Amino acid sequence: MRKTVTRLADGRELLYYDRRDDIVREAVDRRSPDSSGPGQGLAGPPAGAAVSEVRHDPLLGDAVIVAAHRQGRTHHPPAGECPLCPSRDGRLSEIPDRDYEVVVFENRFPSLSGDTGRCEVVCFTPDHHASFADLSEDRAALVLAAWTDRTSALAELPGVRQVFCFENRGAEVGVTLAHPHGQIYAYPFVTPRTALMQRAVAAHLAATGRNLFDDTVERELADGARVVLKGAHWVAFVPYAAHWPYEVHLYPRRRVPDLRGLSDGACTEFPQIYLELLRRFDRVFGPDAPPTPYVAAWHQAPYDDERRGDFALHLELFTVRRSPGKLKFLAGSESGMSVFTNDVRPEAAAERLREVATTT
């Protein structure tokens, strides 16, 4: 893999990731730092003016990010003005080169910035109409390498406690740019969901002397009813108490705290397993259904936890679609009290995801 680091016109960092070592990236961002015209990709406040604030809720003990500058972020632009497409035919975008494989750059409208953390955008492909599921295994492996490289780099930033790599796909889950992309958040705090997992792991260890993540994976493999697919290095299953209609958790068979700990074998097998999962998600509602909206979220251990080795890296993939033409909306019990009601039995979801396999 070759990594090329450069800067955009307003000073934000941009990184190209290429599979070939002989690729040379010399394109320069020719936009004015304060340009705001259509298709220029710099509409809104310059990166240095983006100020976010982290406030702590004294009752719940969690954190809320206040980022008022995001009100003016780019919202569903036409394909001809997409800021994530390459700069071609006189139209300048966030990516100065006329082509790319994988690109990472600082978000122009970050939720976290300055002393409160950092937000980055990850573009998987220059093809505006593609999706992650359309990538080749080589390209998906390059994305994994980029996620891992950014995890290493962001972990070294002062004040960063946790790095979160994720992809949202579909307007139904709040995506405002249709171009296939993901994001990376570097948090200055441990996220509430991770803190809940840490407490559960500590309690299980105290009660049994065993690791909760390991026991969970072993239980699912032994039961088999919710296993969706498995390989030599990875296993994917619908969790016993799934919150979402179709939800799959993907674990490496050997527990590691974050992406940096994956073995060569796990890195090699990951594209095969993950691409198959995504393709099944697109088939689960039938051949005539539109692409399935989803969230794909990597859970990694916080960096200042003395027991971070007890945490298990895993990816959670879920959709808000519960049946053709119907979405799962959070109702009063879920939004108000965080008590979920799932309309699809987890065992039935797993069976359906096995039925729509695209490989044997």
Which positions are catalytic?
Answer: 181
pTM of the full structure? 0.94
Using CA atoms, how far apart are residues 104 and 120, in angstroms rounded to an integer? 7
Q: Are 96 and 27 in contact (CB under 8 A)?
A: yes
Q: What is the structure's pLDDT at 360?
A: 47
Helix 212-223 and helix 192-208: axis angle, to 10°?
Answer: 80
Domain end among 138, 153, 187: 187
Domain containing 176 — which CATH number?
3.30.428.10
- Domain match, 22 and 171 both: yes
Q: What is the structure's pLDDT at 45?
A: 53
> CB-based contacts of 348: which residues, under 8 Å, 6+ apart?
none
- Domain match, 176 and 273 both: no
Domain end among 153, 187, 221: 187
- Domain match, 204 and 102 both: no
- Domain match, 134 and 232 both: no
- Domain match, 161 and 198 both: no
Using CA atoms, how far apart are residues 318 and 248, in angstroms rounded to an integer? 6
Q: What is the structure's pLDDT at 39?
A: 43
Could you give the angle at the alpha carbon of 177 between the alpha carbons of 171 and 180, nearest 5°? 95
The series of mean pLDDT values per 10 residues for the chain, 360 residues long, is 97 97 96 60 50 93 92 87 95 97 97 93 97 98 98 96 97 95 97 97 98 98 98 98 98 98 98 98 95 98 92 98 95 96 97 86
Within a domain: 360: no
Phi, psi of 173 (to 5 degrees): -105, 15
At position 244, the amino acid (one-letter code) is W
- Domain match, 172 and 231 both: no
Q: What is the structure's pLDDT at 294?
A: 98
Structure tokens at 144: 């994994």
- Domain match, 313 and 294 both: yes
